[in-house]
A and B are shown apart, each in its own frame.
Chain A
Amino acid sequence: MSSRVPVLKTYKLYIGGEFPRSESGRSFDYDDARGRHIANVALASRKDFRNAVVAARSAFPKWAARSGYNRGQILYRVGEMLEGRREQFIAELRQQGAGIAEARREVEQTIDRVVYFAGWADKYQQLFSTVNPVASSHFVFSVPEPTGVVAVIAPQESALLGLVNLLMPVILGGNTAVALASEKKPLSAITFAEVLATSDLPAGVVNILTGSRKELLPHIAGHMDVNAIVYGDEDGAEEKLIQEQASLNLKRVVRPRANPESPYLILDTQEIKTTWHPVGL
């Protein structure tokens, strides 16, 4: 009996529909709780982030122009692909320290969350649109429109669900996203990128980076071509940095809500466009 040498996956970045290594050539070791080396993970540089924003910006007009129905279909497809890879995700979460029941619960919740939000893609517009009464001869109505490129900072303690919770309401509303995965538990985010890459999601709609939050956050928060930043953690110093840098181009700074299935999460990265249409002239 020959014992075969296991083939381990290199966890690379996900930018513009491709899986490049960091342009800096850097990577870091990911060890499990017992100190065993599991994987090499790409350590993204600020230039990788810049490239990801370029990819997200160029994907934005076409993604925003798709019908809500079509975006919903694609997100539902993401759920289907996740379902097919359940066992892989559960095993990977366990490598990152979760117990078996905990891992199973997180993966199932993630799939259900994706399907839940997929259903919202063609419904939030009519919920959040309004006809506004005004005291002049105008028909005035307001509709939500995607804000643009959104940076998503995933929470440190959740490898998969934390990221997906924040990402889904952003992209279903027609935004494109650059997500920074949990630094402590980076593996599932990249495996999730493999799901996205095989789900008819156009290249560049979601870009996922792994790396040092301390290194990247100032560049993410300051980037003039990022329109909003969704911050999923509680660190006061980080939030202060984000708020200060975000003021450069008046980025929206979005915090998670208590209810992760709140439809207002979608509204958090929408702009309201109001039209005044003359009547009775």
Chain B
Amino acid sequence: MQVVQQPYPNWHPSPPVDQVGVEERVARLAARSIKKESKVAALKLALSMIDLTTLEGSDSPGKVRQLCYKAKHLHDALPDLPHVAAVCVYPTLVRVAREELAGSGIKVAAVATAFPSGQADRETKIRDTRYAIDEGAEEIDMVISRGAFLRGEYGYVYDEIAEIKSLCGDAVHLKVILETGELGTLDRVRQASDLALAAGADFIKTSTGKIQPAATLPVTLVMLEAIRDFHLRTGQKRGMKPAGGIKTAKTAIQYLVMVNETLGPEWLTPSLFRIGASTLANDILMQLAKETTGVYQCADYFSQA
């Protein structure tokens, strides 16, 4: 993809967000009823979009190997399951994940740029990112400097994203984490989304998962609208990744409905929509097993992620 970087903020200002309108629209979309075959199809689609994630201080090579095994063998009792999109780990564990996932078609994503706080100087962030790429990361999940953004130093944040993107090039996918839980208002979410898209983000992502609230439907709708407007303006398709707090299959389907209604069915693919989660996969698997067997399932019979 040819990345067109545009200057910021000498660009057009972000439109204001109608918070009440957003909440109304979200409530309406969340009430959609998806049943039977459509539900099974939606659940499998959601499964194929998951970035199976472990981002704990206690992560070890063994934990990552186990997660990779889970990614490859979601639930062998169910036939015809897709595999998840990616496994997301800290840079030091990228090599382990690459070895485990070789030949599986599952990508390895690494968080970088002083995740999760982003409180480090530019040089450290660049080294962090370069290290992750050298270790074999195929996707980089970077955090923006929320402190700088909230101070109004938009140029600083723009340059930071643009520099990391130039490091990634076309081969490595860049997801930019806005950490919307720290931005405060939907207006600022929209502004940060526009900024990140202009600076070259392949994906914009809601959260690190370390701050509450993490991904919510209203925040995601605002970001999807930013992606839609960017597409209308430039013709480029950028992706979206809500992360953190999406625990149930029902919620995941609500997100898919929202993507379909805001951006259209072309975005319903793992290359343009991802869900960052760890426990979601098992809930989806339990729902799929319910559709197959007819009885409600128990977590004891599903391997841990």
Q: Does B299 contact A (CB under 8 A)?
A: yes
Q: Does A50 contact B (CB under 8 A)?
A: yes
CA–CA, A138 to B301, complex, Å? 33
Q: Does B295 contact A (CB under 8 A)?
A: yes
Contact with B along A192-224 (1 / 0, CB 8 A): 000000000000000000000000000100111
Nearest-CB residue, chain B, relative to A225 = B298
| In the complex, chain A residues 242-264 whose Cβ is within 8 Å of any chain B Cβ | 245, 248-249
Q: Does B294 contact A (CB under 8 A)?
A: yes
Interface residues of B: mostly helix, strand, loop or mixed?
loop
CB distance from B65 to the nearest CB of A (A): 28
| In the complex, chain A residues 229-276 whose Cβ is within 8 Å of any chain B Cβ | 245, 248-249
Pairwise interchain contact B296-A53, C-beta atoms closer than 8 A: yes
Q: Which residues of B contact A248 (CB under 8 A)?
A: 295
Pairwise interchain contact A222-B296, C-beta atoms closer than 8 A: yes
Total interface residues in chain A, CB < 8 Å: 10
Q: Which residues of B contact A53 (CB under 8 A)?
A: 296
Q: Does B297 contact A (CB under 8 A)?
A: yes
CA–CA, A248 to B299, complex, Å? 15
Nearest-CB residue, chain B, relative to A248 = B295
CA–CA, A225 to B302, complex, Å? 12
Interface size class of B (residues with CB under 8 A): under 10
Q: Which residues of A contact B301 (CB under 8 A)?
A: 224
Pairwise interchain contact A249-B296, C-beta atoms closer than 8 A: no
Q: Which residues of A contact B300 (CB under 8 A)?
A: 225
Of listed B298, B299, B300, B301, residue having the most chain A CB within 10 A? B298
Pairwise interchain contact A222-B298, C-beta atoms closer than 8 A: no
CA–CA, A222 to B294, complex, Å? 9
CB distance from B284 to the nearest CB of A (A): 15
CB distance from A253 to the nearest CB of B (A): 16
Pairwise interchain contact B298-A224, C-beta atoms closer than 8 A: yes
Of listed A50, A53, A225, A249, residue having the most chain B CB within 10 A? A225
CA–CA, A222 to B295, complex, Å? 6
Pairwise interchain contact B298-A219, C-beta atoms closer than 8 A: no
CB distance from A60 to the nearest CB of B (A): 12
Contact with A along B278-305 (1 / 0, CB 8 A): 0000000000000000111111110000
Q: Which residues of A contact B294 (CB under 8 A)?
A: 222
CA–CA, A224 to B296, complex, Å? 6
Residues of A bordering B, CB below 8 Å: 50, 53, 219, 222-225, 245, 248-249
Q: A222-B294, A225-B296, A225-B297 are in contact. List 16 more A-B contacts (CB 8 A).
A: A50-B296, A219-B295, A219-B296, A222-B296, A223-B295, A223-B296, A223-B298, A224-B295, A224-B296, A224-B297, A224-B298, A224-B301, A225-B298, A225-B299, A225-B300, A248-B295
